[in-house]
Amino acid sequence: MSDRKPTQATAIKSALLAGARVDSVMAFGLGITRLAAIIKRLRDGGLPIITEQDKGNGIARYHLPENWQPDTKKPR
């Protein structure tokens, strides 16, 4: 068993896969200050992350499409 702390990208990916909506306030609570950079890496890795922006404060909130599941099939 490993005592390694999950990477920031792993923590955000886990939250998104669990159905959470992630924003910079939530990420800051995890010690993450560059959320947009992590979101870009996850998108580049194939996650279809959706961005919504609050009208009043301009904070971006990220989530996965409803009922989206990762493809767990391995190519032959």
| pLDDT per position as a tens digit, 25-41 | 999 999 999 999 999 99
Rounded Cα distance, 23 and 36, in Å: 9
Measured CA distances, 2 to 13, 14, 17, 30, 50 (Å): 19, 18, 22, 20, 32
Average pLDDT of span 49-62: 90
Q: What is the predicted pLDDT for the residue at 41? A: 95
58 falls in which pLDDT band (50, 70, 90)?
A: confident
pLDDT of residue 71: 77
3 pLDDT band (50/70/90 cuts)?
Answer: low
